């Protein structure tokens, strides 16, 4: 049933995806995107509620059972698209470079298919169309609105495009799929003065230079090589004139880690090194840490169920059991911190099209649209499998 229904929707789903791709919107500004999805939900008679630019559509099955949530994200990135696609972004400086247009189309397709099959559904399925994933704020906002309640959600599914896997395949693993993230801001304070008289000043730029090198020893020398982590300083701001020594320099960056022990160690070391390097050169340093997202960690039992379902629906050769997590971050982590769930990679590269191998967030990345139907078939099938507790329902 599901393959036939998704096949019938092919033309429409491609049209939906291209419409969303052409008119991307930034985090918490997804007004037209949300309106368009609401229009499509109404067209198919699927009830929904709105929460700002977030949407929750709900299908109540005809049989008793629990509740499963399926999440998509809607926002785009502040990137000027440089593809030559006929449906390239029409909004200057904004692009769906992370595949959220694919995610939204997949989950909308699942809602349409499963609405037709509600007689077969046990329990309730919620479709979460979430704003502001790119700034790691949308999931928390939706959860705070109560979308995991009334009825209480038992489990969640998330999907993300993945250029490292070919179209038609999916990848996942139990346990950690993405890293926890923390934002760091370091202010180095010295004493301003004339460039010709450095002996009368304390140069925070020199301190910042030493600090940059010293901070990189945290991962290489203070953590076990068996515990992956990344510390990146991505922004430095200091000074206004070439003949002046400024009073302050600001450094900003991110920490990525896969376990709480590493996270705590890195933060402690950043503070210790920053303060002492600055002190060595007669300056001071203050460190501010703002937590981003926790780790996305797939529930082991649900992951095995999902892998078995994927093998049956797509074929064993199309299912990749990933060996390693990504050190990227995802605010799907907030859902999975509340409920057991599965976050999987949806293959999007097409053999012979090198643009579909470009990395996420590239201005030239393209996504193989056939991946939409892989996602619709798999998630819709798992929704029936999960609610009815068995492959015999597929």
What digits encode the pLDDT tens for the residues 135-173? 999 999 999 999 999 999 999 999 999 999 999 999 999
pLDDT tens digit string along 246-260? 999 999 999 999 998
- 86 pLDDT band, cuts 50/70/90, is very high
- Report pLDDT for 393: 47
Per-residue pLDDT reduced to its tens digit, 200-251:
999 999 999 999 999 999 999 999 999 999 999 999 999 999 999 999 999 9
Integer Cα distance of 122 and 68 in angstroms: 10
Dump pLDDT digits (tens) for 89-114: 999 999 999 999 999 999 999 999 99
C-alpha span between 392 and 105 (Å, rounded): 27
Ramachandran sector of residue 33 (left: φ over 0; alpha: ψ -120 to 50; beta: rest): alpha
pLDDT confidence tier of residue 6, bands split at 50, 70 and 90: confident
Q: Count of CB atoms within 10 A of residue 224's CB?
A: 10
> Is the model's pLDDT at 388 over the cut of 80?
no
The rounded mean pLDDT for the chain is 96
Pairwise CA distance, residues 243 & 259, whole Å: 45
Q: What is the pLDDT of residues 280-320, one digit of tens each?
A: 999 999 999 998 899 999 999 999 999 999 999 999 999 99
Q: What is the mean pLDDT of residues 47-69?
A: 96
57, 48 Cβ separation under 8 angstroms: yes
Q: Is the peptide bond before 178 cis (omega within 30 degrees of 0)?
A: no
- 394 pLDDT exceeds 60? no
Structural domains of the chain ordered from first start: 2-179+295-393 (3.40.630.10), 180-291 (3.30.70.360)
Residue among 7, 58, 61 at smallest CA distance from 386: 61
Q: Both tokens of residue 278? A: 């600055």
Q: HSE (CB half, 13 Å, CA atoms) of 362?
A: 14
pTM: 0.91
Q: How much of the chain, in percent, has pLDDT values that exceed 70?
A: 98
């Amino acid at each position: 049933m599901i393959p036939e229904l998704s096949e019938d929707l092919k033309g429409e789903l491609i049209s939906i995806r291209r419409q969303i791709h052409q008119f991307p919107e930034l985090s918490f500004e997804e007004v037209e995107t949300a309106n368009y999805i609401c229009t499509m939900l109404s067209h198919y008679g699927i009830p929904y509620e709105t929460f700002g630019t977030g949407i929750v559509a709900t299908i109540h099955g005809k049989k008793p059972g629990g509740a499963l949530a399926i999440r998509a994200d809607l926002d785009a990135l502040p990137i000027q698209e440089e593809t030559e696609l006929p449906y390239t972004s029409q909004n200057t400086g904004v692009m769906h470079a992370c595949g959220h247009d694919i995610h939204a189309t997949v989950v909308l397709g699942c809602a349409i298919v499963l609405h037709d099959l509600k007689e077969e559904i046990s329990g309730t399925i919620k479709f979460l169309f979430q704003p502001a994933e790119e700034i790691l704020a949308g999931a928390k906002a939706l959860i705070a609105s109560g979308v995991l309640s009334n009825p209480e959600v038992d489990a969640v599914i998330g999907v993300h495009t993945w250029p490292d896997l070919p179209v038609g395949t999916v990848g996942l693993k139990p346990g950690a799929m993405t890293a926890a993230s923390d934002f760091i801001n370091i202010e180095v304070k010295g004493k301003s003065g004339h460039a010709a008289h450095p002996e009368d000043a304390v140069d925070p730029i020199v301190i910042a230079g030493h600090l940059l090198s010293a901070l990189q020893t945290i991962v290489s020398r203070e953590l076990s090589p068996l515990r992956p982590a990344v510390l990146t300083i991505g922004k430095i701001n200091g000074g206004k004139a070439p003949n002046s020594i400024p009073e302050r320099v600001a450094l900003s960056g991110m920490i990525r880690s896969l376990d709480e022990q590493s996270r705590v160690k890195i933060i402690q070391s950043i503070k210790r090194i920053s303060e002492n390097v600055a002190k060595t050169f007669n300056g001071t340093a203050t460190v501010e840490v703002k937590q981003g997202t926790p780790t996305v960690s797939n529930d082991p039992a649900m992951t095995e169920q999902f892998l078995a379902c994927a093998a049956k629906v797509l074929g064993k050769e199309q299912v990749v059991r990933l060996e390693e997590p990504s050190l990227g971050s995802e605010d799907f982590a907030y859902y999975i911190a509340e409920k057991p769930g599965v976050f999987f990679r949806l293959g999007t590269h097409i053999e012979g099209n090198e643009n579909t191998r470009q990395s996420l967030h590239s201005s030239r990345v393209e996504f193989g649209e056939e991946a939409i139907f892989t996602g619709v078939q798999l998630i819709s099938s798992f929704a029936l499998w999960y609610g009815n507790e068995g492959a015999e329902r597929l």
